[in-house]
Amino acid sequence: MPEPVRDPAGVLLIVSIDTEEDNWYRSRHEVTVENIREFGPLGAFFRRLGVRPTYFTTYHVARDQRAADMLREVCDGGAGEIAAHLHPWNTPPLLEPFVPRNSMLKNLPVDLQLAKLRHLTTTLEDAFAFTPRVFRAGRYGLGRDTVAALACCDYAVDSSVSPFTNLEAFDDGPIFDGAPLTPYRLAPDRDVTEPAPNGPVLEIPLSSGFSRGPFSLWDPARRMLEAAPLRWLHLAGLAEHAGVVKRLVLCPELASVSDMLTLSSRLLEHGVRHLHMSWHSPSLKPGLSPFSATAADVARLYASVEAYLDGLSRITPVTLVTVSEAAALLGDGIPTPVVLTQHR
């Protein structure tokens, strides 16, 4: 167990779910949303733990009546909030070729990004009778033009950035190296890792880092080991397996409870005021995601989340918040997006 962090103010903890279709591999056809049926048990689990999650919701989930009804039910009475999650490969208008590079929203023309975002926003408005103000790009594919589209559609908050993450090798995805660990503002005229003091959109980053600090030492060391000509030696992987240093993310699909608690301690040592745990809704149903092949895997995911929350409470005081609540507390007066509190 990591040593307790002596901060009487504690930390804000966000739990968010990428609330999406069953099709783990990108598809425009035969798209189903059966995993949303698992939100009944998930909602009961969250209520028992006092978690009010943020559900980043895709077009295909919002347009399915049964799925939308389930989301309204689990959010009823302020038990959670609904946000926008854009999968460009199957969100209309489908004007671009269905190729891997186009699965990253930032790679699409700005007018097409805007058209897709408007279509998703309208679909969410029709399904839930409110206008979303919080956003996450599918595959974290955020770019400058995406920020411009968000501003045009009056989105106040984004949560796509994962510091110390380079997705360039994955279909020309974004490079988040150098991004702040704490909330900062985005503007269309700057890289999404560069704070813009008067930017129209507040970034609430996901939680990622290293098993050792300071990150200012280990991040450039990791980049050097992963760059040519050293990449072929696999030195970064060897360092991780040897226990020297490991890159960690606050995600129960990818990290153990011990690693998530270690990461949380390191982030608190770096002065962060929020932690952001996230995972994908298909992992709630066996066989849909690579992380939950069996019912036992799903049970382990639930157990990991509960054990992490218990362990974190032993490290530091914890306040459970939604993304929009974190924005209101950390975002220098940004307007608080609407939280869904009742049925239509």
Please give the pLDDT value at position 331: 85
pLDDT in tens, 109-141: 999 999 999 999 999 999 999 999 999 999 999
Structure tokens that stand for 273 in this block? 């005021």
From CA 131, how far away is CA 146, in angstroms rounded? Answer: 18
Per-residue pLDDT, 221 = 62
Judge whether residue 337 has pLDDT over 90.
no
Q: How much is the pLDDT for 219? A: 73
286, 122 contact by CB (below 8 A): no
Cα distance between the two ends of the chain: 46
The answer to whether the beta carbons of residues 180 and 267 sit under 8 Å apart is: no
257-268 tens-digit pLDDT: 999 999 999 999
Nearest to 224 by CA among 236, 213, 240: 236
Residue with tokens 């798209």: 31
CA-based nearest residue to 68, from 79, 77, 57, 78: 57
DSSP-based three-state secondary structure for 307: helix
Angle at 67 between CA 63 and CA 72, to 5 degrees: 100
Token code pair at residue 284: 């709630």
Q: List all residues 6 or more positions away from 221 whose beta carbon is below 8 Å from its beta carbon.
A: 245
User: Does pTM top 0.85 for this prediction?
Assistant: yes
pLDDT at 229 over 90: no
Rounded Cα gap, residues 216 and 210, in angstroms: 10
Q: What is the DSSP letter of 21?
A: -
- For position 218, what pLDDT does the model report? 58
Does residue 72 register a pLDDT over 70?
yes
Question: Which sign, positive or negative, has the C-alpha torsion 316, 319, 321, 324?
Answer: negative
pLDDT at 140: 98
Kindly report which listed range (93-97, 162-166, 285-289, 334-338) carries the lowest average pLDDT score.
334-338
3-state secondary structure 108-168: CCHHHHHHHHHHHHHHHHHHHCCCCCEEEEHHHCCCHHHHHHHHHCCCCEECCCCCCCECC
Instruction: Please give the structure tokens belonging to residue 267.
Output: 């982030």
Average pLDDT over residues 36-60: 98
Q: Which of 160-169, 205-214, 224-233, 322-331 has the lowest mean pLDDT?
A: 224-233
Whole-number Cα distances in Å, 3 to 6, 264, 272, 307, 311 = 9, 11, 17, 16, 11
